[in-house]
């Protein structure tokens, strides 16, 4: 009996996961094709072959779907930043190259990034759950990066790593807003990276 119960529960879980995946992928496709504002929840539901209520069972809003997508993009980007910990370059060059690398990987999702940043700023309370997941994706690899740079003596031994991580994320977020608003060829964003990272790196070296 227990085995049968577990099997039924597992089947239900798989069906729920499959339904959520279809809704999510359908919404992202419609956003890419029509922009974020145009598709409605009704249209997403119809395209996904389900009901409007079912969509709301998994996502509270279109904004939540978009943030979830950007969390997945961020996770893919963060998996690749570890290599910068061993770069043979000054600290400011390592950190500025890291930001340029991340923006380059996110370039195909510029339109999504614009909406994402505006939603995070305007609806922070409603999107607290997804944005917390974003921080869970970003923080561990970034802390590891700074710890390794400190081990290599590129960062002063007295630097508080969590504080440095937070400060760098603030810099990144500010430049991300500029990058998203500016668009190609991103000249102002490039200048902001050089200036702000240079100042930040000097503080870490002299701490």
- pLDDT at position 13 is 81
The CA distance from 115 to 117, in Å, is 6
Four-CA torsion 101, 139, 83, 110, nearest 10 degrees: -20
If one compares 125 and 72, the residue with the highest pLDDT of the two is 72
The CA distance from 161 to 2, in Å, is 48
Burial of residue 179, with CB atoms counted within 10 A of its CB: 0-12 exposed, 13-18 middle, 19 or more buried: buried
35-56, pLDDT tens digit by residue? 898 999 999 999 999 999 999 9
Q: How far is CA 12 from CA 1, 16, 19, 58, 172, in A?
A: 17, 6, 10, 14, 41
Full set of structural domains in the chain with CATH: 1-59 (1.10.10.60), 62-206 (1.10.357.10)
- DSSP character for 160? -
- pLDDT at position 63 is 87
SS3 36: coil
Average pLDDT of the segment spanning 193-198: 96
Q: Is the pLDDT of residue 7 over 60?
A: no
- Residue 131 — very low, low, confident or very high, per pLDDT cuts 50/70/90? confident
- Residue 86 — very low, low, confident or very high, per pLDDT cuts 50/70/90? very high
- Residue 9 — very low, low, confident or very high, per pLDDT cuts 50/70/90? low
Q: Is the pLDDT of residue 179 over 60?
A: yes
- pLDDT at position 193 is 97
């Amino acid at each position: 009996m227990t085995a049968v119960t577990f099997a039924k529960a597992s089947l239900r879980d798989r069906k729920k996961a499959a339904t959520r995946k279809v809704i999510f992928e359908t919404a992202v496709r419609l956003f890419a094709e029509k922009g974020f504002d145009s598709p409605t929840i009704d249209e997403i539901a119809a395209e996904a072959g389900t009901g409007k209520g079912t969509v709301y069972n998994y996502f509270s809003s279109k904004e939540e779907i978009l943030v979830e997508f950007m969390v997945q993009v961020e996770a893919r980007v963060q998996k690749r930043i570890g290599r910068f910990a061993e770069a043979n370059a000054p600290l400011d060059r390592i950190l500025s190259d890291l930001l340029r690398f991340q923006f380059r990987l996110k370039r195909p999702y510029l339109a999504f990034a614009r909406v994402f940043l505006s939603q995070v700023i305007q609806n922070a309370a409603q999107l607290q759950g997804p944005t917390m997941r974003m921080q869970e994706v970003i923080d561990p690899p970034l802390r590891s990066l700074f710890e390794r740079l400190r081990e290599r003596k590129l960062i002063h031994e007295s630097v508080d790593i969590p504080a440095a991580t937070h400060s760098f994320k603030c810099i990144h977020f500010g430049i991300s807003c500029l990058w998203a608003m500016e668009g190609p060829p991103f000249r102002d964003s490039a200048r902001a990276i050089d200036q702000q990272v240079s100042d930040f790196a000097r503080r870490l070296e002299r701490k």
